[in-house]
């Protein structure tokens, strides 16, 4: 029996692909006293996090911070730019793309869900050529926005966003480009301005290493112009009033003060390390993880090496094995949380998160927990996956030497 007041000795291994572990430095920053959100000191904090997030999104344009989970920022992106019945082209990469599409349906939009047949799309990235083809056929420009997920957290696939931009431009189509990088931001390169993205959506509890509770819209001038004509009802999510008040570091309503302290610290940490180093660190751990999976003789959910995610790895279970039963054993025996299979791949795979505050030994411990648990669950492995991961980590310097 698991009791709420019980936690075993040692740190819980939170290896799900978000929420990711919150570093002590951020936890401490969040424990500062809550201050007056209309006072002078707050304005300094507000301006700092807004300016800092522009660096993380690589944009000169406004970044809006909502006291909401990522789903809120998804909704905000749609209601600020679109009108009832508008056609939007969304690409099915996995469960998060599917949930965003459902949200668009619920808002009264007319999403067209493009994807590869069957569950094949759940092993691949966004197919820019399919988007280009669909846009070329849309001669009347009925499609008002293209929505894609940058890092599909349900499968472990990171799509090529510049390729999507090129496809839209090649078709000469005026639709907006909306990108969810809720789990990609802070883990892998992202360039809101350079890639010509109109609205970028992100959240706090993945690469930014914060608890859940804040989310973001980075918005282009074209998206702001669209918002002047967009007719979907909105109030809490409306950009204009927030952007206006943000000029002095304040919000129209009560912002998430203590999470903003944490965000300020997270921005400092990432910029001190250097974004390129942050991304290289993620790529290195992801490669080690994939080597372990191959050592086990198991398949990686992402079938295209060009779009392997540096954030998480999806591990497919052999036929006849319930991935959630394996996860349960690993959780109960080793205090290690892994991501469940979502939607179409429920029970077929589990996900190992290697994002944010994670280092070589965190990953090795997590892989050891997976290996022990899989053996206990009766999964037939080709061999140990640990040596391949260890050899790779030892041969490619990381940590203090990176
Ligand atoms: C986590 C996640 C979401 C959902 O965010 P919530 O904070 O759970 O609302 C959406 N898209 C992607 C890609 C995610 O990883």
Which tokens belong to 341? 């299979």
Asked if the bond preceding 19 is cis, omega within 30° of 0, the reply is yes
Is the pLDDT at 4 greater than 80? The verdict is no
* Residue pLDDT, tens place only, 185-241: 999 999 999 999 999 999 999 999 999 999 999 999 999 999 999 999 999 999 999
- Closest CA to ligand 1's atom 3: 70
The 10 Å Cβ neighbour count of residue 346 is 14
In angstroms, the Cα distances linking 396 to 188, 197, 328, 345 are 19, 34, 33, 33
More confident residue, 4 or 118: 118
β-pair partners for 308: 157
What gap in Å lies between CA 268 and CA 274, rounded to an integer? Answer: 10
pLDDT attached to residue 1: 63
Domains, the chain, in order of start with CATH, read 13-21+274-395 (3.90.1150.10), 25-271 (3.40.640.10)
Q: How far is the CA of 182 from the centre of ligand 1 (A)?
A: 6
What gap in Å lies between CA 146 and CA 165, rounded to an integer? Answer: 10
Mean pLDDT to the nearest integer, 169-188: 98
Q: How far is the CA of 193 from the centre of ligand 1 (A)?
A: 22
* Residue pLDDT, tens place only, 310-339: 999 999 999 999 999 999 999 999 999 999
Dihedrals phi, psi of 196, to nearest 5 degrees: 65, 40
* Residue pLDDT, tens place only, 389-400: 999 999 998 877
Q: How far is the CA of 178 from the centre of ligand 1 (A)?
A: 15
Q: Which residues form ligand 1's pocket by a CB distance below 6 Å? A: 18, 69-71, 96, 149, 153, 180, 182-183, 203, 206, 212
Q: Which atom of ligand 1 is nearest to the CA of 153?
A: 15
- Closest CA to ligand 1's atom 12: 182
Residue written as token pair 């302290």:
261
pLDDT-based confidence at residue 6 (cuts at 50, 70, 90): low
- Closest CA to ligand 1's atom 2: 182
Q: How far is the CA of 52 from the centre of ligand 1 (A)?
A: 22
What gap in Å lies between CA 341 and CA 66, rounded to an integer? Answer: 28
Is the pLDDT at 2 greater than 70? The verdict is no
DSSP class of residue 286? H
* Residue pLDDT, tens place only, 24-45: 999 999 999 999 999 999 999 9
Ligand 1 pocket test, pick from 91, 104, 153, 161 with the greatest ligand atom count within 8 Å of Cβ, gives 153
What residue spans of 305-345 are helical by DSSP H?
Answer: 323-334
* Residue pLDDT, tens place only, 251-278: 999 999 999 999 999 999 999 999 999 9
pLDDT attached to residue 8: 79
Ligand 1 pocket test, pick from 71, 214, 351 with the greatest ligand atom count within 8 Å of Cβ, gives 71
Ligand 1 pocket test, pick from 99, 101, 183 with the greatest ligand atom count within 8 Å of Cβ, gives 183
pTM, two decimal places: 0.97
More confident residue, 2 or 191: 191
Residue written as token pair 């030497």:
401
* Residue pLDDT, tens place only, 105-159: 999 999 999 999 988 899 999 999 999 999 999 999 999 999 999 999 999 999 9
In angstroms, the Cα distances linking 256 to 35, 66, 67, 236, 268 are 11, 8, 6, 14, 18
Mean pLDDT to the nearest integer, 348-359: 98
- Closest CA to ligand 1's atom 4: 70
What gap in Å lies between CA 18 and CA 198, rounded to an integer? Answer: 25
The 10 Å Cβ neighbour count of residue 378 is 12
Q: Which atom of ligand 1 is nearest to the CA of 215?
A: 7
* Residue pLDDT, tens place only, 72-81: 999 999 999 9
C-beta of residue 90 within 8 angstroms of C-beta of residue 101: yes
**Burial zone of 238 (CB within 10 Å; 0-12 exposed, 13-18 middle, 19+ buried):** middle
Q: Which atom of ligand 1 is nearest to the CA of 181?
A: 13
pLDDT attached to residue 5: 66
Mean pLDDT to the nearest integer, 7-28: 94
| Mean pLDDT computed over every residue of the chain | 97
């Amino acid at each position: 029996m698991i009791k709420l007041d019980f936690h075993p000795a040692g740190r819980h291994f939170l290896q799900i692909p978000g929420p990711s572990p919150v570093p002590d430095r951020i936890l401490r920053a969040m424990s500062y006293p809550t201050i007056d959100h209309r006072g002078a000191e707050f304005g300094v904090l507000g301006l700092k996090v807004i300016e800092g997030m522009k660096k993380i999104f690589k944009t000169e344009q406004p970044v809006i911070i909502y006291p909401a989970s990522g789903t809120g920022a998804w909704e905000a992106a749609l209601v600020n730019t679109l009108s009832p019945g508008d056609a939007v082209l969304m690409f099915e990469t996995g469960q998060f793309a599917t949930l965003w599409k459902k949200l668009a349906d619920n808002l009264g939009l007319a999403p067209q869900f493009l994807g590869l047949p069957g569950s094949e799309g759940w092993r691949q990235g966004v197919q820019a050529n399919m988007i280009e083809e669909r846009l070329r056929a849309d001669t009347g420009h009925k499609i008002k926005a293209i929505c894609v997920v940058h890092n599909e957290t349900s499968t472990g696939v990171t799509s090529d966003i510049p390729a999507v931009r090129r496809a839209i431009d090649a078709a000469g189509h005026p639709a907006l480009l909306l990108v969810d990088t809720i789990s990609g931001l802070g883990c892998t390169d992202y360039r809101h301005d350079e890639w010509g993205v109109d609205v970028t959506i992100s959240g706090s509890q993945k690469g930014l290493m914060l608890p859940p509770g804040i989310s973001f819209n980075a918005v282009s001038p074209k998206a702001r112009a669209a918002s002047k004509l967009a007719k979907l009802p909105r109030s809490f999510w409306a950009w204009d009033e927030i952007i206006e008040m943000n000029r002095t570091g304040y919000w129209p309503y009560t912002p998430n003060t203590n999470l903003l302290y944490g965000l300020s610290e997270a921005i400092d940490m990432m910029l001190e390390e250097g974004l390129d180093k942050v991304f290289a660190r993620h790529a290195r751990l992801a490669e080690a993880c994939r080597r372990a999976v191959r050592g086990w003789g198991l398949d990686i959910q992402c079938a295209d090496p060009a779009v392997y995610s540096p954030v998480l790895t999806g591990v497919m279970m052999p036929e006849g094995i319930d991935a959630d039963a394996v996860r349960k054993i690993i959780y109960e025996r080793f205090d290690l949380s892994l991501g469940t299979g979502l939607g179409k791949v429920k029970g077929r795979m589990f996900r190992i998160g290697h994002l944010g505050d994670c280092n070589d030994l965190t990953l090795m411990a997590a892989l050891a927990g997976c290996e022990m648990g899989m053996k206990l669950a009766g999964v037939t492995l080709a061999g140990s996956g640990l040596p391949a991961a260890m050899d790779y980590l030892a041969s490619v310097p990381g940590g203090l030497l990176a």
